Amino acid sequence: MCGIFGIDGDPGMEEAAAKMAYLGLYALQHRGQESTGIVSWDGSQLHLKRGMGEVADIFKQEDLARLPGYRAAGHTRYSTAGSSAVTNAQPIVVKTSMGPLAIIHNGNLVNDRRLRSDLEADGSIFQTTSDTEVILHLMARNPRADVVESLMTALARVQGAYSLLLVSSQGLIAARDPNGFRPLAIGRQEGTGAACFASETCAFDLLGAVLERELEPGEVVVSRGGELESYRLPVVPEPSRCAFEHVYFARPDSNIFGREVAAARKMMGAALARSAPVPADVVVPVPDSGVFAALGYARESGLPFEFGLIRNHYVGRTFIQPGQSIRDFSVKVKLNPVRGLIEGRRVILLDDSIVRGTTSRKIVRIVREAGAREVHMRISSPPTAYPCHYGINTPRREELIASAHDVEAICEHIGADSLAYLSLDEVLSSLGGAKESYCAACWSGSYPLRVDARNSAQQELFPIRSADDPGL
Amino acid sequence: MCGIFGIDGDPGMEEAAAKMAYLGLYALQHRGQESTGIVSWDGSQLHLKRGMGEVADIFKQEDLARLPGYRAAGHTRYSTAGSSAVTNAQPIVVKTSMGPLAIIHNGNLVNDRRLRSDLEADGSIFQTTSDTEVILHLMARNPRADVVESLMTALARVQGAYSLLLVSSQGLIAARDPNGFRPLAIGRQEGTGAACFASETCAFDLLGAVLERELEPGEVVVSRGGELESYRLPVVPEPSRCAFEHVYFARPDSNIFGREVAAARKMMGAALARSAPVPADVVVPVPDSGVFAALGYARESGLPFEFGLIRNHYVGRTFIQPGQSIRDFSVKVKLNPVRGLIEGRRVILLDDSIVRGTTSRKIVRIVREAGAREVHMRISSPPTAYPCHYGINTPRREELIASAHDVEAICEHIGADSLAYLSLDEVLSSLGGAKESYCAACWSGSYPLRVDARNSAQQELFPIRSADDPGL
Amino acid sequence: MCGIFGIDGDPGMEEAAAKMAYLGLYALQHRGQESTGIVSWDGSQLHLKRGMGEVADIFKQEDLARLPGYRAAGHTRYSTAGSSAVTNAQPIVVKTSMGPLAIIHNGNLVNDRRLRSDLEADGSIFQTTSDTEVILHLMARNPRADVVESLMTALARVQGAYSLLLVSSQGLIAARDPNGFRPLAIGRQEGTGAACFASETCAFDLLGAVLERELEPGEVVVSRGGELESYRLPVVPEPSRCAFEHVYFARPDSNIFGREVAAARKMMGAALARSAPVPADVVVPVPDSGVFAALGYARESGLPFEFGLIRNHYVGRTFIQPGQSIRDFSVKVKLNPVRGLIEGRRVILLDDSIVRGTTSRKIVRIVREAGAREVHMRISSPPTAYPCHYGINTPRREELIASAHDVEAICEHIGADSLAYLSLDEVLSSLGGAKESYCAACWSGSYPLRVDARNSAQQELFPIRSADDPGL
Amino acid sequence: MCGIFGIDGDPGMEEAAAKMAYLGLYALQHRGQESTGIVSWDGSQLHLKRGMGEVADIFKQEDLARLPGYRAAGHTRYSTAGSSAVTNAQPIVVKTSMGPLAIIHNGNLVNDRRLRSDLEADGSIFQTTSDTEVILHLMARNPRADVVESLMTALARVQGAYSLLLVSSQGLIAARDPNGFRPLAIGRQEGTGAACFASETCAFDLLGAVLERELEPGEVVVSRGGELESYRLPVVPEPSRCAFEHVYFARPDSNIFGREVAAARKMMGAALARSAPVPADVVVPVPDSGVFAALGYARESGLPFEFGLIRNHYVGRTFIQPGQSIRDFSVKVKLNPVRGLIEGRRVILLDDSIVRGTTSRKIVRIVREAGAREVHMRISSPPTAYPCHYGINTPRREELIASAHDVEAICEHIGADSLAYLSLDEVLSSLGGAKESYCAACWSGSYPLRVDARNSAQQELFPIRSADDPGL
């Protein structure tokens, strides 16, 4: 998962674009903390700064001062395994015969390996192992006077989930794949009138922009000084919007696919209270993602909502495991029970999903050790039984506990007194819109887009290990 | 404010003490993020590491490996103005004729300036501007065969608020001032049987320790291999436990002065619902400190509790203000409203205190801009009208809005439709124990301990500015 | 200018290759201090580390440990203007359909801009502005089963001065351009039998290797486990070996083009004593480059040699100019006169060349201020009147004082009592071999290889400015 | 060994003092590269910056900007073993009842341990293990209205070798011990008229200052705005100026104890040619310290001087030893022979001293391997048989090869064909002045000042190990 943000204003707004991108990315920080980067265009050249870490740590005042211009875009990247081969931080910038281009991408292509092989056989040289770079090479091989045309030609060969931004001399271009897997919204900044693009609408609030609309699946929008023009990629019969964005990934104050996330989650919690009631004393969320569903559950069930688990937000990137002596350390370091709220009570624990089961098992144990009389786990989505091929960083199928175990077995594994999931139908009801317009592959296994054989193979892409120094 | 943690085990627990201190400090991170440090004793020498920043950033695996021993203590320090003169990071370590000593201190002395002058006139040379160092010099001037005796002689001359830890060859010594302003708890680690000392009990949970009891006001406890021995400083008639710890500072999962903080806050919220009801649609906390009071208020009033303000936890230390163009930026960067939960509603906002009034004013405005029909501010403590001299970092009297304005004027200033505070009596009722045993100076102005004239003068202490390099 | 070094041994010599490259580069440090890098091949992948700075600062023990393998090559780069656009540090590594390749290059191509344009028009994407990368793209576009063939096909299209090393799975390949502008020597390490390649033979000494021979102009040598095989590029009628290597650039303990540099310089100094004698008391070198010529001059003239100027070797990269108040500061910070050796004497100053004249002017002034009665400047090469297009970093023609001034005018400008240069013929006599086999373009203006029009244009190559963070 | 520099000007020269100190220290860099620091006084407070490393690396433009004032002093420190306990970098700054003081010290006290014990027993707390800090504590214990008086009272109790600078609000004070072991010169900057103090006169040249005179042994000079006033410590019958400064330590362009170092060394070389002639073909110095003696030897003997060993100046602080496979690596990495100048010749090697013998042994071997027919070692001082207690960092007696071996045995150990030293009498003749006015303890064993028993004991001073973070 990643967060992307772009802004394109009047050439008059000289210095501001990168600063606005900085704020937008900061609001999208929950979508990825591993690396971040911003590129700006000042009318004659691109300016780039990327770094490993969080937005507020990487960008200093002087960095933003070195990113002048009225057009900018940026990226926050989620930690993914196996990417240490070479730098995959975004934006990726290149020079082509159409001039300098910068690309930023949220999603996952499903046929990039084959395209990459073809391009390499033809003599293209890749800088990264990122699927994003494939799009740039396709564009470089098919230059057009109009960059949008070159991009659309490239996207016609590409399959997968993507919401992308392209910074060029000709404009800021936003594109969403024909399936519309990932969200991408258009906003307008009050005052400057600049056009904004963001993975989630919460990125608009801080900089005083308001949501205009989402890009349609398959839509390509180019902004030139804030003026928008729209193009369409060849259509698919039905979009496949990612339902998991609502369940877990997005911020509760964002509006995704036409509905506020907080509202959707509360509806899921309420539906869960109706479908899976249980005699209990308190409803306790697993913070932060379970909070709204727990509020919905509590209200619908009439049971008291309690903050029985406190989250510690100070976990740094290199938190040290102090030996093997502390049981459930990985969870305890983040969550601590409030004994007075749990002791002697029958607790309903609300969480958004169970992936491997190990974390849930630890949480249940912690809650029991704090004195809970009973622990009933309620999950505000169906069992996660299939990996995502469209940009969510789930483990392989065999690591997903629900891929091989039924609810009863999972309940036993995590040590709860009872366990219930929300049905797929109820999740989709909470989201609004046609139920067929959502991708629910991680729960149902019915994938809307086939993964190319080369991509499945997953062989090593880059036989080069680099440990370059700062400043290179 | 600061967080302190110490542990003293069997000489057998060789490597573990510093690691446990690391975990304890991590749990106390909310009490200070500016600097941190750990000192360990391995039976023959002290090992020290301090740094500017948060615990998880400063200490790496290799740092902890360089802090061997079975006795350790550490510190997290809150950012305080005017301290850039020279390093004031703790622990402070010195060599005396009694051997090496390390001191760690939470609180604020009220007569350290006079003591410092006297010592300097006598030829003592100070390394820091910290009041903590005064105690070490007093000890160095009055060495005893028994370090505890030397410490007690020194403390007899010192006045103020302190909870301190002293690491020496003779044991880990904990001391709490006779007024008992700041909390200091004794715990026992299961398994190792090591003795622990911490500002708050939440520090015990992560490392599997359980609360034994708090130190009494004026008590000095020495641990030698986990065996405790207790001494007493000359008594005062009545302790003065800091009520503000419960209102704002402590973590909700801590037990302070005999009561769990979450419970106390919920009681304050409920009392506020009884004393200051208002027709409304939702109760919304200002996160994180207002959450439990809001839950109490909502339950007592029967109004729905809603997470209408989302807190962004990714604010780094150097977050950049992007020009003056964004109104209320300093608050918006931390809090974002969930429009769907606020729009068209009459909102009760719950917060723990109003200091200068500027933040509250911005929050009210943000909530109004998100569409609230009415905004009623409720504060779970009395008006903060007097500065704290005992360790809480409040601004000077003239900056406290309640020092010169009545409730009506404050309400107007922050732009709320109504404003109500909780009475002092109701706050103290929620804390348990004798009401006279608490310090409420910040609300009442009645200070239990007089500040020495030299300390009030506040002249510059150290005419030296240092910018030494890493590694010195 | 740059220094290059490569080594290729038996797959048995597992860990050693990068360490040997480190030593080789260290000995070549005088050829460039701006950046350095080493790449190694371990039989299955390339390992890379580059950094800004000197060899001994960039590579730590752990860095070399992360560069395993029996084949390695490295680079030290001289600071050149205009290269901050994007990283140009070498080695450059890429993945092609022939596998991973790393290239290292000393020299300067004269038709790379045109080739780059053609490649870009065809869809190639460049990572750097370095001419070196062009060769890799030409290879990627013309892959062959045999990497040597692919390289030779690429080199057939390339014109200019180069000595290069290519690390591939198929071997370590060394190539020298058909004109043979830059030196490149083959050595053999005693003990391991590994093949070595270096810009100068001084790189062999430290690691116990001995000179076998130089590569011939236009020769391509591939080492596979130390076994050498030789290929030839299309010949040119006459080589053009860089005479300036002997005059200034190479280390005195190196053997270049068949003659030890120290010997050549002493011959030049002696020739200068014969052709430009002057009554004087002492011969003083401008250290370090003028030392051997001064020894030759002193011996031939019978005048005493004196170290009248002391060089300070501690000048860091960011030495601060402390205001404008100190005249001749830029020279004084490096050179200090020994007053006792100069005062009251007639001094012959020996230097290798005069470029802009500003430094010589300052040196003459410093020597006069130290009390010299007369200052006679003697230069051990002809006037530098033309820029180099083949890899020496000379300023543009209009900045070269000898391009527009005769010897008398230069003498007046630098403030010497007399000035004399060594004739071109005498320089070439000192070097040995056929006089026509040397490039003397910087003195004569007769360029052996024409610069392509596109290269002369010198427009901006890369409209992207990057300030990426460490670790990317 | 250390280098010290101070400057005190008119309060008008606002910004310049630290910059001048920077230049002065840079010129003294050869006296110590481990750490450096500068302190400045701006009329109301001290400003300090210290760092590990060389002057040009530690001080950036912005650092000097943060050291305002018209009075400044600095230090470069030589790496000494055993000092990693706590920071010993200088200047040491403290606040006393006389105001802030900064001290800088070159030398070595011989009774500081006893003084330190007494002070600690009295309750003083030390920050460092440095003998320098003792002087500050003695001053703090005996404050006077006049800082000079306080310093002189302190120095009356101190014994040893020192040249020190004290920065105070009352002036810049320079002091030289009554024995006058270490040099300390007074200069006057042209233009500003500021007073300067430096270990060596080469520090004056770069900043346009000229030598006025040396401080007398036992003299204390205070500068107030450049006006000098002189005081005297109780006298000793005869000074003991360090002869080794001339032989090895000082820069050849410095004037020490009234004679230029280059001249003294040339005289030593010439004397050695007369006293220890040998049939040979060339005279080759071990660079850099042997160069001038070699010139003197060559001229006196009529033999040709040749730079047969080239020194590589790029050795960083952490140069890596690449395995044990390369014989004589530690020397080879610094010195490389010029084969053409050595091969087939009878070589006289000139060096300043032999300490352990291991380096000389390696150098002789390298020269033989380069083809020398004979190698005759000539040393421009007597055998170093006794350790220095007055500030030169020599190894313990048992490590000095001359402490237990006669010349013949040493010659055999280092593998030379012959070996000869210069006699003590001839060394002292080359220095000028009364021969009794020099300390020659390292050669003669007759120590002018007895070392206190406590100092000889050398027990561990500080049972605290610190690894504090940057910025503390």
| CB–CB contact B319 A54 (8 Å) | no
pLDDT at C86: 40
To the nearest whole angstrom, how far is the Cα of D207 from the nearest Cα of chain C? 7
Taking residues B353-361, report their average pLDDT: 96
Does the pLDDT value for residue C463 go beyond 90? no
Helices and strands, number each (H, E), in chain D: 17, 24
Chain centroid to CA D9: how far? 26
Q: Does B153 touch chain D (CB under 8 A)?
A: no
Q: Which amino acid is at A467?
A: A
Instruction: Identify all chain A residues contacting B68, using CB atoms and an 8 Å cutoff.
Output: none
pLDDT tens per residue across span D224-269: 999 999 999 998 888 999 999 999 999 999 999 999 999 999 999 9
In SS3 terms, A24-40 reads as HHHHCHHHCCCEEEEEE
- Restricting to B residues 395-434, those with a Cβ less than 8 Å away from any Cβ of D are none
Contact C254, C261 (CB under 8 A): yes
Q: What's the average model confidence in pLDDT over B6-14?
A: 85
Collapsing DSSP to helix, strand or coil, B232 comes out as: strand
Length of chain A: 472
- Asked whether the beta carbons of C407 and C419 are under 8 A apart, the reply is yes
The yes-or-no verdict on residue C324 having pLDDT over 60 is no
In 3D space, the residue among A47, A38, A45, A42 whose CA is nearest the CA of residue A11 turns out to be A42
- Looking at the complex, does the CB of residue D34 fall below 8 Å from at least one CB of chain B? no
The phi and psi torsions of D451 (rounded to 5 degrees) equal -85, 130
Residue A318 has what pLDDT? 59
* Lowest mean per-residue pLDDT among A218-222, C44-48, C69-73, C404-408: C44-48
**CA–CA dist D261, D30 (Å, integer):** 14
β-pairing, A418-421 vs A227-232, is unpaired
What's the whole-number mean pLDDT along residues D204-224?
Answer: 95
- A vs B, Cβ pairs < 8 A, gives 158
User: How far apart are the C-alpha atoms of C454 and B128, rounded to whole Å?
Assistant: 64
Quote the CA–CA distance of D234 and A54 in Å, as a whole number: 64
Cα–chain center distance at D218? 19
pLDDT in tens, B58-117: 898 889 999 999 999 999 987 654 344 346 788 999 989 999 999 999 989 999 999 999
Residue A358: enclosing H or E segment and its boundaries? helix A358-369
Question: Does residue C356 or residue D466 have the better pLDDT?
Answer: C356
Does chain A reach chain C with at least 3 CB pairs under 8 Å? yes
Is C211 an interface residue toward D (CB < 8 Å)? no
Taking every pair of Cα atoms in chain C, the longest distance, rounded to a whole number of angstroms, is 72
| pLDDT band at residue C14 under the 50/70/90 scheme | low
Q: Which residues are D3's β-sheet partners? A: D76
Coil, strand or helix at A215 = coil
Chain B hits for D55, Cβ within 8 Å: none
Q: Are C296 and C262 in contact (CB under 8 A)?
A: no
**Range C347-365 burial, b when 16+ CB lie within 10 A, else e:** bbbbbbbbeebbbbbbbbb
Among residues D2, D196, D202, D439, which one is catalytic?
A: D2
Closest CA to A53 of A89, A6, A27, A5: A89
Q: Does the N-terminal peptide bond of residue B68 adopt cis geometry, omega within 30 degrees of 0?
A: no
Any CB–CB contact under 8 A between A63 and chain C? yes
Question: What distance in Å separates the CA atoms of residue B54 and residue B421, rounded to the nearest whole number?
Answer: 34
Give the pLDDT score at B84.
Answer: 43
| Nearest CA distance, C103 vs chain A (angstrom) | 13
Residue C85 has pLDDT above 50, yes or no: no
Q: Is D205 part of the contact surface with chain C (CB cutoff 8 Å)?
A: yes
Residue C83 has pLDDT above 80, yes or no: no
List all residues 6 or more positions away from A358 whose beta carbon is below 8 Å from its beta carbon. none
**Mean pLDDT over residues B248-266, rounded?**
96
- Tell me what pLDDT residue A81 has: 40
A310–B253 C-beta distance less than 8 A: yes
From residue B80, give the alpha-carbon distance in Å to each of B38, B77, B460, D462. Answer: 20, 9, 15, 31
Q: Tell me the average pLDDT of chain A.
A: 91
Query: What is d(CA C61, CA C19) in angstroms, rounded to the nearest whole number?
Result: 9
**pLDDT at residue C291, rounded to an integer:** 97
Beta strands in C391-446 (DSSP E): 418-421, 438-439
- When pLDDT is cut at 50, 70 and 90, the band that residue D317 belongs to is low
Return residues 430-469 of A near C (CB < 8 Å): 462-469
- The secondary structure of residue C303, as a DSSP letter, is P
Tokens representing residue D394 in the block? 């020599």
Active site residues of C: 2
Residue A450 to chain B, least CA–CA distance (Å): 37
Neighbours of D149 (CB within 10 A): 14
Residue C84: which pLDDT band, with cuts at 50, 70 and 90? Answer: very low
Cβ–Cβ under 8 Å, residues C46 and C108: no
Please, how many CA atoms are within 13 Å of residue B291, restricted to the half-sphere of its CB? 19
Query: Could you tell me what percent of chain D has a pLDDT over 90?
Result: 76
Question: What is the distance in angstroms between the Cα of A200 and the nearest Cα belonging to chain C?
Answer: 26
Residues of chain A with pLDDT under 70: 14-15, 79-87, 316-319, 321-325, 458-462, 467-472
Size of interface B-D (CB pairs under 8 A): 163
pLDDT at residue B470 in the model:
46
* Angstrom distance (rounded) from CA C137 to CA D463: 61
Contact check, Cβ <8 Å, B312/A59: no
Under 8 Å CB-to-CB from C469, ≥6 apart: which residues? Answer: A49, A50, A51, A52, A53, A58, A470
Contact in structure between C350 and C319 (CB atoms under 8 Å): no
Interface subset of A 78-137, CB within 8 angstroms of B:
none
Q: How far is D73 from chain B (nearest CA, A)?
A: 14
How many whole angstroms separate alpha carbon A384 and alpha carbon A443? 5
- Mean pLDDT, chain B, as a whole number? 91
pLDDT of residue D82: 38
> What pLDDT does residue C237 have?
83
C residues 220..279 contacting D (CB < 8 A): 251-253, 260, 262-263
Which range has highest mean pLDDT (A139-148, C325-334, D323-332)? A139-148
For position C7, what pLDDT does the model report?
A: 97
Mean pLDDT of C451-463: 76
The token pair that represents C300 in the structure block: 């031939």
Indicate if the pLDDT at residue C262 is higher than 60: yes
Q: Are B378 and B350 in contact (CB under 8 A)?
A: yes
pLDDT at site A466: 74
% of chain C surpassing 90 pLDDT: 77
